């Protein structure tokens, strides 16, 4: 049945009591409100004249467009487009979720690495702390019996003082130093007395290479010990008893080389910057290295002939330029560009004293112990050579006259002479009268070295010069000039082998060069000696 007004099936059907006609409720109520009569018969009507009819749910017929194939295809196309749009949105959300997951996994991995590194550093710190705790009581017990005058002397110095005596060194470090105890001073003094007595009886060994032999020296071999990516040998030392040569290079490694076999015995890796100084500790299996990474390392032999780092010393706050070993082989000194030098105990690796000079700020670039062990010579970046009393850590003498940074210092075996090299050349100093008595004008001198007998002096600059030593008044005659075959024009270090039978030279390439007598001349020279 349809509405008498609209002609459509009513949603809310009502019927008139007077006319009996069927209407849509909303339509008839609106018409009665406006006109007050039936829209078909015109009879007067009120809202009370219509009665609602209860019917079942009316289902409207489907739209016309879904009743044809084109209409269905259009509907399907619309649904497909909506599905594709929804799928695209889901893919975008999945891509974003994957990126967030990848970032979270990367952060988790980085956090795990940081945690592992911190745990390792914590374990190393705990180990060092435990070792220090073991060494501290023994060192304190040794220091307690020291005489009051020694303690006073150590506490107040005229020209230099221990940088950490007041418990503070620099703006970012507070370290307590044990000081050089009376027992250590007694040990140094006894060693000095014994060496001085031996020096009076010292004679030049008959096996020492003669001047004629040195004049015939030529390059015997060249050994590429360091990496080509960072060439340069900065320091060298020779263990005469085993004829082993140690070199420190720009490539952050130190190499131990057996000259007789021509083989590399061990490569010491651990420094993060160039190795500036290297020293053997007497005839022991210990090696010291200093580096631009502000650390000093003590190496010892381990299984398989390799060397492992026993101690890493981080007392300096700037590049460490030199290490030098005391004659007792129980103590050593490091010199740094942080204006301090440190006196260490070899066995424990503890810094007993860190010394600075309050009278003037200087950066230490070279250091060497006097053969008797009670005097320390240091070179500075400010062209000054300073002489120190090891027992009191006081500056007892100062030499000026150089131009440029002091690159090397070396004491002669007789204990009378000190040789220093700098950018302006080499100067020789008489330690008895504290004055310069001879100067060699070799610009950019990088190294100066007396041989073990004190008979020869080697200088490394643009080439290598060997001189025969003499007295203060006598002439120091040149013996041999060896060319720098590296092609860099800069020989950085020179050392004499046992009995000056050969000269080892390091340069700014990666090769160690050995100069000596050719095999035929060596055989003839040995026959003449016999």
Cα dihedral 230, 232, 237, 241, rounded to 10, equals 70
Report the percent of the chain where pLDDT is more than 70: 88
pLDDT tens per residue across span 436-461:
999 999 888 999 999 988 899 999 99
Mean pLDDT along residues 14-40: 90
Looking at the predicted structure, is the pLDDT value of residue 379 above 70? yes
Give the closest residue to 331 by CA, choosing from 206, 219, 187, 463: 187
- pTM score > 0.85 for this model? no
| CA distances for 134 relative to 26, 34, 124, 139, angstroms | 103, 111, 15, 9
For residues 508 and 524, the model is more confident at 508
Looking at the predicted structure, is the pLDDT value of residue 502 above 80? yes
Phi-psi region of 466 (alpha: psi -120 to 50; beta: other; left: phi over 0): beta
Element (H, E) at 459: strand 456-460
Residue 350 C-beta-side C-alpha neighbours within 13 Å: 22
Looking at the predicted structure, is the pLDDT value of residue 522 above 50? yes
For residues 202 and 428, the model is more confident at 428
User: Mean pLDDT for the chain?
Assistant: 86
Element (H, E) at 137: helix 69-143
Mean pLDDT along residues 341-367: 91
Joined tokens for residue 364: 């230490």
Which residues, including other chains, have CB under 8 Å from residue 323's CB and lie 6 or more apart? 277, 278, 279, 288, 289, 290, 296, 332, 333, 334, 335, 367
Looking at the predicted structure, is the pLDDT value of residue 82 above 80? yes
pLDDT tens per residue across span 99-132:
999 999 999 999 999 999 999 999 888 888 887 7
Give the closest residue to 214 by CA, choosing from 525, 530, 463: 525
- End-to-end CA gap in the chain: 146
For residues 526 and 438, the model is more confident at 438
Between CA 271 and CA 84 the distance in angstroms is 61
CB 181 within 8 A of CB 475: no
What would you report as the CA-atom Rg of the chain, rounded to the nearest whole angstrom?
46
For residues 164 and 247, the model is more confident at 247
Looking at the predicted structure, is the pLDDT value of residue 150 above 80? no
- At 408 the pLDDT is 95
Looking at the predicted structure, is the pLDDT value of residue 253 above 70? yes
Report the percent of the chain where pLDDT is more than 90: 57
Mean pLDDT along residues 496-516: 92
- At 219 the pLDDT is 93
348: three-class secondary structure by DSSP = coil
- At 521 the pLDDT is 61
Sequential DSSP letters for 357-394: ETTS---EEEEEE-TTSSEEEEEETTS-EEEEETTTTE
Confidence class for position 398, pLDDT limits 50, 70, 90: very high
- At 62 the pLDDT is 62
């Amino acid at each position: 049945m349809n509405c008498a007004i609209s002609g459509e099936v009513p949603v809310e059907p009502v019927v008139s009591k007077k006319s009996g006609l069927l209407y849509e409720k909303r339509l008839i109520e609106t018409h009665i409100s406006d006109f007050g009569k039936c829209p078909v018969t015109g009879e007067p009507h009120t809202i009370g004249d219509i009665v609602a009819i209860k019917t079942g749910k009316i289902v409207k017929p489907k739209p016309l467009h879904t009743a044809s194939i084109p209409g269905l295809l259009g509907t399907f196309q619309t649904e497909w487009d909506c599905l594709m749009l929804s799928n695209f949105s889901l893919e975008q959300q999945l891509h974003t979720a994957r990126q967030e997951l990848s970032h979270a996994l990367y952060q988790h991995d980085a956090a795990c690495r940081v945690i592992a590194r911190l745990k390792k550093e914590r374990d190393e710190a705990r180990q060092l702390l435990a070792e220090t705790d073991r060494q501290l009581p023994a060192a304190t017990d040794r220091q307690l019996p020291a005489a009051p005058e020694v303690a006073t002397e150590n506490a107040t110095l005229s020209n230099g003082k221990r940088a950490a005596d007041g418990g503070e060194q620099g703006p970012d470090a507070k370290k307590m130093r044990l000081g050089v105890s009376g027992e250590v001073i007694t040990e140094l003094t006894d060693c000095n007395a014994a060496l001085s007595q031996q020096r009076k009886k010292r004679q030049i060994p008959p096996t020492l290479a003669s001047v004629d032999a040195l004049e015939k020296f030529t390059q015997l071999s060249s050994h590429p010990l360091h990496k080509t990516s960072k060439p340069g040998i900065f320091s060298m030392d020779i263990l005469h008893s085993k004829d082993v040569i140690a070199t420190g290079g720009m490539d952050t490694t130190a190499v131990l080389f057996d000259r007789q076999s021509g083989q590399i015995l061990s490569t010491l890796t651990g420094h993060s910057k160039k190795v500036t100084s290297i020293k053997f500790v007497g005839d022991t299996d210990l090696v010291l290295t200093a580096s631009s990474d502000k650390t000093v390392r003590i190496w010892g032999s381990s299984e398989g002939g390799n060397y492992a780092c026993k101690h890493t010393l981080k007392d300096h706050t700037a590049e460490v330029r030199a290490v030098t070993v005391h004659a007792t082989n129980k103590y050593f000194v490091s010199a740094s560009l942080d204006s301090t030098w440190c006196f260490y105990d070899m066995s424990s690796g503890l810094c007993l004293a860190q010394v600075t000079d309050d009278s003037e700020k200087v950066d230490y670039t070279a250091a060497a112990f006097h053969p008797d062990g009670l005097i320390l010579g240091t070179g500075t970046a400010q062209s000054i050579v300073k002489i120190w009393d090891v027992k009191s850590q006081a500056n007892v003498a100062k030499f000026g006259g150089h131009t440029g940074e002091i690159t090397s210092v070396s004491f002669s075996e007789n204990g009378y002479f000190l040789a220093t090299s700098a950018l302006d050349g080499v100067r020789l100093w008489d330690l008895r009268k504290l004055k310069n008595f001879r100067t060699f004008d070799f610009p950019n001198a990088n190294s100066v070295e007396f041989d073990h007998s004190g008979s020869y002096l080697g200088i490394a600059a643009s080439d290598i010069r060997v001189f025969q030593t003499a007295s203060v008044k006598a002439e120091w005659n040149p013996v041999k000039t060896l060319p720098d075959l590296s092609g860099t024009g800069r020989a950085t270090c020179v050392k004499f082998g046992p009995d000056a039978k050969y000269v080892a030279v390091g340069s700014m390439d990666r090769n160690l060069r050995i100069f000596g007598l050719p095999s035929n001349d060596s055989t003839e020279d040995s026959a003449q000696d016999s």
